[in-house]
Structure 1
Amino acid sequence: MKNETEKYYVVEARWTGPDKNTWRYIDFDRYEVTTEPPRNNADGSIQLSGWLGTNDDVARYAHGEYESQVAAEYAIIQMLGCDCRRHNEGCAALEPGVVALYRPGRYAPMSDDVLSDYIFWKIETHEISVPSGEITRKQLTGVVRAVRKLLRDEGSDVPEDRIEAMLIDVCEMEMTVD
């Protein structure tokens, strides 16, 4: 049962270390709704807004105190301009008191390693078809758009230029002039 005086807090955690585009860190950044007030790393004092400090390449920022969980979640949606997704699997394992978790972006990002495997698998299972031999820019654009649609349908997204580069690499394509 909820304590009548319980407050909710929004804390942002952002990866600042190397290897941002690897599978481990590409979707690291998050906004947590917690019942534990955020504390400054330097002296442990409660801090309701601003930079809390950085530990182990994770910068933390406080974004306010709220009367309800709903109000705190709404604040996150307002900060991210509705461009976020709720992601609550494993919340309890993150920090004590975390009751909700949001990640920036409408779609989950995908690392280069995972994208390469994804494209290879989709070709092997014939979910996408890639012309053999030389390929024109128009053909490549069509394949790139088909891959991006599949990714979005499955809850992920990758910019078209990364899909194109990965397709060329995975399929060892040679371009012809249109």
Structure 2
Amino acid sequence: MFFVIERKYVGPSRHQEGHTGFHAFEVSSQPSRYGSSGEVCIDDHCGEENGIVTYAHGEHPSAEAAEAWIEMYMAGLNLDFQEDEELGDGVITRFCVGRYRPISAEGTRNWLYGMDMSDIEADTTNERIAEIVTTIQEGARIDGEEFCEPTLERAFREHRKMLRDESGT
């Protein structure tokens, strides 16, 4: 049997910042479990942990049947299939809700690490920073991803401030 499990980030949790914007349906060879008791959860709200709520949407005779159920359930909601190398705990496939796979604030910061910020100078305007962010997002969207925009903007503004502080302007 295969199980459809929905996971969605629903609220602030300092432990799960990386999941902001996350909403996915997974096909798993293992059923979900109630967070409170650890009992198997087949078709119910299973609980919330660290800002991630989990719902079980039934059992299906094959992975293909589970995927077909997800596609039917999600019709019209911008369902995108996402390959993910980090699937675990029996997860076979993951369908992310939305047009682009969101990259967390932490993932965005990691991407920014070591980035050439020569486009940002002490006199760079907020409008120019917005243009740079837009250009970066357009590139990410080609790959089906989307960076955490506030994290990009904050990093560029902080870099500009550092340059201003160094130059005394």
Relative to structure 1, the CA distance from residue 49 to residue 100 in structure 2 (aligned partners, 3 Å threshold; closer, same or farther) is same
Query: Within the alignment, does 1:19 sit opposite 2:14 as a pair?
Result: yes
Structure with higher Rg: it is: 1
- CA separation in 1, counterparts of 2:130 and 2:14? 29
Q: Secondary structure at the match of 2:101?
A: coil
Percent identity of equivalent pairs: 21
Contact kept in structure 2, 1:21 and 1:111, CA below 8 Å: no
- The CA deviation at 1:134 is 1.4
Alignment of 1:158-169 (within 5 A): 158=147, 160-169=149-158
Alignment of 1:96-175 (within 5 A): 98-119=91-112, 121-123=114-116, 130-158=119-147, 160-172=149-161
Alignment of 1:32-43 (within 5 A): 32-38=26-32, 40=34, 42=37
Structure 1 unaligned residues grouped into runs of 5+: 1-6
- CA separation in 1, counterparts of 2:58 and 2:133? 42
Query: Within the alignment, does 1:87 sit opposite 2:87 as a pair?
Result: no
- The CA deviation at 1:143 is 1.4
Partner of 1:50: 44
- CA separation in 2, counterparts of 1:72 and 1:152? 28
- The CA deviation at 1:170 is 2.8
- The CA deviation at 1:29 is 5.2
- CA separation in 2, counterparts of 1:155 and 1:59? 24
- CA separation in 2, counterparts of 1:148 and 1:62? 33
Aligned length: 159
Q: Secondary structure at the match of 1:122?
A: coil
Query: Within the alignment, does 1:65 sit opposite 2:59 as a pair?
Result: yes
Pairwise CA RMSD of aligned residues? Answer: 3.6
TM-score (norm 1): 0.63
Contact kept in structure 2, 1:21 and 1:112, CA below 8 Å: no
Contact kept in structure 2, 1:30 and 1:103, CA below 8 Å: yes
Structure 2 unaligned residues grouped into runs of 5+: 165-169
Relative to structure 1, the CA distance from residue 150 to residue 119 in structure 2 (aligned partners, 3 Å threshold; closer, same or farther) is farther
Relative to structure 1, the CA distance from residue 83 to residue 169 in structure 2 (aligned partners, 3 Å threshold; closer, same or farther) is farther
